[in-house]
Structure formats: structure tokens, C-alpha cells
Structure 1
């Protein structure tokens, strides 16, 4: 690394040193004190923009030519994070003729450090950094180690229950699922074979001995008055056997739904509700003979989909075993097929077997709590601004072995998460170095905001880490100037970078414009501060935000998101811009004033962003417990969703019977739809499923 010029040489050429365009070409980041001396003799240098740029840039050799930058382009308007994917711009080379060490060496030590962080965090030893795993604990230790190395202070002085560290903010993850510790079933004193019975995740721990009852499909209010229960039915003191699904046709498909599709009446949650309301002592769920519906593993369903914890043992039993039990309990010794025929009939009601036909159901479950941690370190400010704050954050978790948030065919494989989001975590760690050095160089008489560096956990299952921080902040929220979020910054292509949140503060875009122009990047500047990443929770709390994002790609949430695929040369450009903006906000005396990025019609910018011919009118989010579905975080007035009665807080489950596994799937459905199409959307509201019909309206064109 080249050293800076002396104080004498800087003072001899003050006007050149102040030009932002010259600052972007320099290499040494630690000579801020020279600039502070310089502004004493030349008032033209006193702008916060010039100070921030020079603080991070340092000084070039005396005879260096000004950097020749490609003409930047700034495009202001809504950007879809689901479709923003710039074209690849790299030139293929002969690998035998290229030295990777030389390339990294030419990029410099900061790019090398960033690259090494990404390689480490995306190593298979970290198990895809899923909350609850040993791998994410390794990642947390790694991040804390580097925060300590940079001389940061612990961020959570009163948050630790370990007594040994205050670097962590522990919180309970809503997606934690109860686990079966033990399960047993006896009938007439004989044990049912292990492996033939499994607990539902909503099951209570318990040991119940009681006579059996058969309740058909467990439906209380079905089509054409169908009900398996008599008025005032009380199942207290009975272990109930119940079929999954709803009355079937001969081919095993639904007898109630159009084209054999299953209706909301088939919901397992509704069966459990009905049986709980009637005081069942235990519940055994069985697949009916010749069932032709979706063969999902009921024991794997998240507790949220089952309506939460139940007060009785709840299990799934192999159909053959269940048939034998029913036949033995039944005085007429009917087969399972015969019981299905009874349940399919219009007048199917509960059958209570003799008191002597008893079963013993034993279940033991853990409490399902899954704890994870944010990691935070403080770079203490100076002078009159020290009590004000900047947050620089990145989520460090990923999807582990792909058991959620990933394609089903890849489950069981490690998802390394190099770009998502080892890249952003590495960027945050690099900024701890760069900004710490800049702060140290500025001396004790400087005025600088304090910076909180935060590594969030559990972003992938609903932005839980940032939500936990906003609920229990370790710094005064009213002293927070802005939050910078780095998420997926490792695949810069065609020099295009999305920067979200440019409309989240008064005059923010125009204040940012000089930085964007000096970056040599094409900036897709989105006014909205919302989106499926951690900045959204800060924005929702009324805090200005910026979100840096280099786009989706073919390896997103797949095992192929490996360390070698990221581009350190691109990350260097992104982090150079991030660092300069952070220094500007560290130095600038005037606080940013939050502004909600809204359109003239009152809708939030960035909602339903014009990349489909039709518009639903919802702000999509992620479910808090990691279950399948699209959470509705907002509904725009006068849209298709509003007309259909969709409300904030609803979770959209399916579109014309097709599962809405994610917001991306919903966007694909919208792109394939036409104006005037009628869509059946199944949703969950306040714990109950229902279906609404949505008539799709035209989408708005891009601004």
C-alpha cells in the first residue's frame, strides 16, 4: 500500500485535495487529520461531503492523475428485489494464464480480507449458519472475535445471561419447533411397534389411558350440513381416532371440492380445534384408505400450521395399525375401509366403542424454544455527536441444510450462503476496520457519531433478529440517525447496485447523489425503505435506512452459493461507497429527518412494482415461524386485494390450489395472470383458514 503525502504537500495543493472526484482514486484511508488541518486554511473544504470522502480516501501520490471514471448512471424508481438481476459482465479468460493471488494482490488488502471472511463463513463446517445449529454458533464466535480485534466495545451490557460476554443479544426464535422426546401407544396392553406412531408438533406431553372413539373426519361444520358431531358432543375421557382430509370420492379425491380439490374443511388445524373444543383426551390421526390427496408428512408440519400447542397428546398412526385397533375395538369388527365408507356418508357421526376397548397414549415433548443471538459491537463516537448513532448491519444466518426457504429437491445438502449473506457480514466486518482506523486518525477533538455494528440472526425466517433489536434496542432509538443494511453484496454485475431507502429521509436522494455519481456504479435508487431484509424493521420504526444489494442469481438459496462465486473486485466498489456514506453521516451535524416514501395516491413506493400486468396490492413479507406462506404486511387501498377483503396480518397459503411457498412464487403467479382473472386465494387469519376470490386489476406502469 502506498503511503500518503506529507502534511506539507497536502497544504500546498488544497483545492485539489477537496475535489470528490480526486478522492475516489486514492489508496490510504488513515490520514484524516491532514484534511482537518487543511480546512482551517481553506473554507471551501468544509462541506460534510468533502470531509467524508477525504476521511475514507486519504491522499494519492503527488504526481498521480485524477481517476478516470466511467460515466455513472443513477436510475431513481421502484426496484423489485425478486427480479433485480443485472447481466454478467465478466470476460472469460484462460485459467492457466491467470494468477488468483495476483488478482487479489492487485485489489489490495481490504478486498483480500473481505474475500477471506466470505470463504470462512461459507465453509461447510458452519453448516449453512442455520439458527439452532453448532454452525451458527461458530459463525457468532467468529464475528465476535473480529469485533474484539478491531477494538469495538460490547453492545449489550445488560443483555447477557452468561456472565462472560455482552456481545450477544439473545432472543427466542418463533420458528422453534417442539421435538418428540418419546412416544408410545398401547392397545389392549400390547405395545404398537415403534416407527408406526409419531407425535404432531402441537402435541402436549402426557400419559393418557382411555377408551376409544371414532370421529370420522373430525369436521364440525362441513358442506350441506355435514358434521361428525352431535349437538353438545363431549369427548371427555376418550382417545379419538380421526381421518385426515374430508369425505372422499371413489378415486380418493375430495367429494366436496371442484375437480376433486380439497376444501378448507380438510384442514388438520380445524379438526384439532373441533376435537379440543369437545374435550378429547387424546387424538390419533390416520390416513383414510385410498386417499389420493397430498402425501405430506403430518408429523413434520410446523406447530404454527396446527394452531399452536394443544392440551392433549396428538399423534399420527400408521393406517394398517389403526385399522387393526378399530376392528378389535368395534363389536362388529369392521375394516378401516368400512369406517371410511361410514365417514364419507352424509350422516356420519361419532362412534363410541365399549369402555373395555382402551388405549394408552404416551408422549413427551421438549418446549420447542429455539434461542439465537444478534452480535453487536460499538465504535464509540467523539465530541458533540458521540451520543447520536449510526447502525451498520448484516444478517449472518442462512438456511442450513435447506429445510426451509429453499428448493425441496436440495433438502439435506449444505447451503453455504456465500452471497446470502456471508458477503454482507464480511462487508460489515471490513467496515469495522476501515471506520475504526478513520475515527482513530481524526483525533480526540473531532465530532463523530457512534456506530453500532450489528450481525443479525434469523433473518431468513422473518427478519427476527432486527425485530428483536427494535423491540429491545441497546441504544436510544430517538438518537439513531440512520441504518445501513448490507445484504447480498457479493455478486456485482455490470457495475449495477440497488440502493433501497433513498426516499426514507427528507432530501435523502439529493444528498446521496454526489456519492452515487462518484462511485462509477450504475445505481438503481429505490425510494422505498421496505423489503425482505432487516432494514425494513428499522424503517417501520421510523428510522431512515439504506439497503445495498447486488441482485439475485441462479444460486440464490441453493447449495451452489459457494465462496468461490463471489467477486471481491465488485465488493470493493460497493464497500467503498458504503464507507463514504457512513463517514458522511458520522460527521454531518444535521440529523436526517425520517420520511415515509409514498406516492401521490398514498400507496407505499416499491409495493407491487409494475413488473406484472396485474396488481394484487399487498406488501409481501415472511411468516414469523418459518412456515409456508406469504405474510401480508400491508394492503393498498383500491387494489385487487383490498376489494377481496385481504387484510394486513393475513398469511396467503395458496393460489388456485397451488401452494404459495414464498413471495417469489406469488410474483410468478402475478406475472402469468391477466387483467380480469378470478383467483381463489386460501389464507390464514387469526388462526383460521378461509378462501377469498380475488378479481385481478391492472398493474401500474413503472414511473
Structure 2
């Protein structure tokens, strides 16, 4: 059925006008029809046939074909020439070839020293790196972090092009004794602390190879353990240069010969001042060789377009949702060892289904006035936002003319009308627009100015990094997250239909208002962002994501099955305010306190439930 919309063509006092109600939201009968077709889409995407839409499954291709077919039925045109697909390759795993005869490392000093290192004893090759043969000077680059949001850059003033960089693992002040600089979420790790992110940053700075060395805290917890090739071979975003991990004692001798100081003292100075201390290791060179064979898997985004007309037609709005999930228990599964299908009904068949529904409302409208609307079902989100990163690297429509991006990820569990929207501060107009539209929809909106939720993000982040205003819609976490139990029968389809309606109206407003949204970079530590690694035992809590909650404590959105929190009777809505006499004002406090315990300890957790304090004793596992 062709849908007609009353177009908005003006701006009043610099604010977006609110579009009229969509015809699809008018009556119970039509709402039931919409929900029935959305349920049909959802059930297929979360079916056995789609095999959890894992990267290495045929089900992922079936899902892509299904989405493309629905885009075509909706009247949308293919965005990539005559194809709805934007293909690219990703690394589905790596294999080390030849052992020590093909993987070598020799250090050479300014006084003619030559130190030949042994694979497996003195160094390892990391699986997310690449084959290479390099002989080059060595440069110490501290933690190897470039973080403009924290005014910190280990590469500032250095030219490492064609050189081998030595990088400490983790980030400054990871233990929080002197105040966290890169705060963390339970069980998560800040992107700046990830070894593959550090290696990627080195590659961006044109380094020829990376040598990792363990930092103080890692060494203090036991032996100077080296990461193995196999445990790093499943990176889906491979680095194009060799990456090695070397014993700290060997690198320490290089540092001492250059500075007269131990690596520990240098590291402590960086942590204390949160100021980089990077320098060339004059006279030291390294000769290395690696041989890594990568298993390349072809994947594809699904991209369709509803063209606009008139003076705004050359500008673009993107609406996106990722359609991949975890297959039969790929990396990221929270069901340890399970090879059952991870159906991913909420994550993210719900967002993909809602994307298809919004697409139906803009298809088959020849001559529609306003900006073009591009609909993208991203792949590779679970492997590191790879599909959206590919699109923003090789966009099918110019990014400089892309005025906004709306992202739908896990929108299938609407409860008590609560919807969380991130990125409301990325344009000064967004918050008012949402409030005006919500007068009709009556959602209980939790608006967060920044783009990152606690412990991670989604595909909108790739666009935010390109200075494009973004809104991210999310209905909250749940115990089935990243488990085989995330099935279609637990989805609130009516809630998805309601979210489709408000997204349609937001899109209509953004597509027709003459003034494009002005991008605002949300700076400073996001109230819901993470992370260094949480090194103590965990309770298995799922924190609620709500910027507008001004009370102290950590509110639970749920608890993980079989974990200490569930066993002790904690549940969604509980607010943790104290652990064993130590106040918990926020998530950072929670992590700091928990890092002081070990498995086997018993802790007393004070919660507020229904307005009353309760104390619960929890054994840590």
C-alpha cells in the first residue's frame, strides 16, 4: 500500500517542527496488521534457518537475502548500483605457519649486541597481526594510546613511520588507586586498552610492527605471561603489520640501557602524571619475521535508498540496524561452551525488523520532497562494528552530506514504556525534537547526551566518529543477552511497532527541515562509558543505563542466570549502595570496591528495594 505523508518544510525559531501522525498508527486493526508482518520478519530472522546469523553461517546470507527482498518489496532502490549489497571481507581466524623457522625476532644494540629470541619462550606472535619481514629502529611509545577525549597521546611529537614500536599493555592508572582516567564497566575493557586497538593505532601512525610488553599490574599478578597465538587468532579486524608479545625483562634491558631507569619506574611516572613519556631507543634495532595465514570470509551490508526530491535531495539520512549475531556460540557468547543456536531475537533481529518496517513507510513514494533516506542492515557489529566502519570508510553516499544517523539495536524488550536514547547531545536540536514527538507516543524516555552505553556501543558510534549527529534507540538489557535463550517469543512486538512509528516521525522531521542538524561533539567522560578491565570477581549484574538517574548507587537492569547476584536473590530494580562497608556511588566505585576482593570471599551488599534498605551476604565465585 502506498503511504502518503504531510511534509514539513519549515523551521520555526530554529527548532524542528513536529510531523503529523503517521497513517499507520491510527487504528487497532491496522496496528494489528503491522504487528503481524513485523512478527513474521522477526520469526524468520530468529529462526533455525538463519542459524543465529553468525559470521561463518549460511544463515547470515539467508538473512541478508531476506532483508534485501523486503527492501525491494517496500519499493526501495538498491544503493550500490543495481545491488542491495555492499560486500567486503573480514578475517574469520588466523593460523601460524612454520613455527620458529618462519617466525623470528632478533634485537641488536648500539654496541654491537645481538640477542636472538626464541619463539614461545621469549616471544609470541599474535594472531591479529599479519605476515611480514621488518628490520627497523625501535621506539618506546608508552601505552600506545591516542585519546583526544582525555587529552592524552603517546604518539605526540613522534615520527614512528617505518619503525617498530614497543607498547605497554593496558592504560595509565588502570588500578584506580590515583583516580581512573579510562574508567571501566564490569567485565569490559576500554577500547584504548585493547591490544588490537593499540596495534591498529600503531598502524595508523605508520609503524612497521608492534612489540607488546606486559605492564606492572599484569606482571604483579603472576608470571610475565605471554598471550598465545591461538587466543588472539579470532580477531575479525586484522592488523596489516606484524604484532609480537615479548618478555618484559628483555624490553626492560633496552629501556635501562637508554635511560638508566627500569621500565617500572618509567611506567609509574606515566601513571602518576598521566603524561606520556615516549622516546626512540637510540641505537637499538629489531629484525623480525612472521608468517600468518588468514581465513578470509566474505560478508555484506544490505543497503537500500528512498530518494528524495527538491533542494534537500542531495543530503542523506541513514537509518541502521545490525543483522548479525553469534551463530552457534561465537566469541562474545555468555553461555560458556554452548554450541546451541544463539537466536538473537532482541540482538538484533528486533532492530532489523523495525528497520524493515520503517523502510516500508518510505518506499513507493515517487517525488517525495526532502532528503534521501538510506536504510542499512549492517553485518559484523558483534565483531567490532565492522559493517558500519566499512560503510563510513567507503560510503555509498558522501558523509559530508549525511546529516544524521538513527540506530536501532535491541529494541524488542520495551517494558513499562521505557526506551533509552543515546546521542541526544550530538545535535542541539535533538532533545527538543524528541520531547515534542513524544507528547503523542508517551514513552518514558531516558536520554543520554553521549553515544556510548556502559561497556560498549553500537553502529551509530562509527558515524559519530565522523562528526555525524546520531540517535541510538535501546530498550534495555536482559538475562538472555548473548545467550541461546534470546528467542522471538520473548519480544514485545507492539513495542517494536511503536518505536517504528516514532523513528518514522523523527526521520520525516529530519528529512524535510531546511536546517540540517548541527553536530556537537560530546566531550568528557560519558556517564555510561567504560573501561579498564575489571580484575576482581564479578557478581553477574546488568547495570541499568540511565543518565537521568541522579541518585547514588548502581541500579540493576537484571542479573545473569547462575551468577552470584541471582543466587543471592538480587533482581532488576535493586540499587546497590554499599559493599562490605564501602560506599558505592556509581559504577566506577562498584568496580574499584569489587577489585579489592577475591574468589571465595563473602561480601555484604546493601541494596535499596522498594524504598527500603536490605543487606545481602553473597559468596564470590
Q: CA deviation at 1:60?
A: 6.1
Within a 5 Å distance, the mapping from 1:111-126 to structure 2 comes to 111-126=35-50
Equivalent in the alignment of 2:527: 606
Q: Distance in 1 between matches of 2:532 and 2:116?
A: 42
Change (3 A) 1:517 1:303: same
1:121-179 per-residue CA deviation (whole Å, 9 max, x = no partner) reads 0112212111132111111111111112222111123xxxxxxx522222232x5312x
Q: Alignment partner for residue 353 of structure 2, among 401, 423, 426? A: 426
- RMSD of aligned Cα (Å): 4.4
Structure 2 Cα separation of the partners of residues 293 and 563 of structure 1: 46
Residues 591-611 of structure 1 deviation map (CA, whole Å, 9 limit, x = unaligned): 11111224xxxx144355xxx
The verdict on how the C-alpha distance between 1:476 and 1:310 changes in structure 2, with shifts beyond 3 A counting, is closer
Check the 8 A contact 1:405/1:460 in 2, yes or no. yes
Decide which of 60, 77, 100 is 1:153's aligned counterpart: 77
Describe how 1:2-13 pairs up with structure 2 within 5 A. none
Match of 1:574 in 2: 499
1:470-485 to structure 2, matched below 5 A, reads 470-485=392-407
Seen in structure 2, the aligned counterparts of structure 1 residues 58 and 430 have a Cα distance that, compared at 3 Å, is closer
Tell whether the 8 Å contact from 2:3 to 2:362 is kept in structure 1 after alignment.
no
Matches within 5 A, 1:152-551: 152-157=76-81, 166-173=83-90, 175-178=91-94, 201=95, 203-204=96-97, 232-234=114-116, 242=121, 300-303=230-233, 366-436=293-363, 439-440=365-366, 444=367, 447-531=369-453, 532-551=457-476
Superposition deviation, residue 476 in structure 1:
1.2
What's the counterpart of residue 57 of structure 1?
Answer: 23
Distance 1:620 1:171 in 2: 31
Distance 1:523 1:396 in 2: 25
Closer/same/farther in 2, CA of residues 408 and 295 from structure 1, 3 Å limit: farther
Q: Is the 2:92–2:234 Cα contact (8 Å) retained in structure 1?
A: no
Question: In structure 2, how many angstroms separate the alpha carbons of the residues matched to 1:131 and 1:461?
Answer: 9
Name the structure where strand makes up a greater proportion of residues.
2
Structure 1: gaps spanning 5 or more residues: 1-27, 62-103, 158-164, 179-200, 210-214, 221-229, 246-262, 270-291, 313-362, 609-617, 622-666, 681-703
Matches of 2:234 and 2:35, distance apart in 1: 43
Counterpart of 2:551?
none
Structure 1 residues 177 and 309, CA, compared in 2 at 3 Å: closer, same or farther? farther
Q: How does 1:640-659 map to 2 (within 5 A)?
A: none
1:137 alignment partner in structure 2: 61
Residue by residue, what CA displacement relative to the aligned partner does 1:617-662 show, whole Å, maximum 9, x if unpaired? x5679xxxxxxxxxxxxxxxxxxxxxxxxxxxxxxxxxxxxxxxxx
State the SS of the aligned residue for 1:453: strand
What is the match of residue 671 of structure 1? 590
**Aligned counterparts of 2:54 and 2:404: Cα–Cα separation in 1:** 28
* 8 A contact 2:24–2:31 mirrored in 1: no
Q: Secondary structure at the match of 1:176?
A: strand
Rate the CA distance shift 1:29–1:514 in 2: closer, same or farther, 3 A: farther
8 Å CA contact retained: 2:407, 2:471: yes
Inter-partner Cα distance in structure 2 for 1:148 and 1:57? 21
Q: Secondary structure at the match of 1:429?
A: helix
* Range with bigger deviation, 146-155 or 488-497: 146-155
Aligned pairs, how many? 395
CA deviation after TM superposition for structure 1 residue 367, in Å: 3.0
Q: Provide closer, same or farther for how the CA distance between residues 58 and 151 of structure 1 changes in structure 2, counting only shifts above 3 A.
A: closer
CA distance in 2 between counterparts of 1:587 and 1:523 reads: 24
**Kept in 1: contact 2:49–2:59 (CA 8 A):** yes
TM-score calculated relative to the size of structure 2: 0.56
Structure 1 residues 375 and 384, CA, compared in 2 at 3 Å: closer, same or farther?
Answer: same
Matched residue, 1:659: none
Per residue, is there more helix in 1 or in 2?
1
CA contact (8 A) 1:204 1:310 kept: no
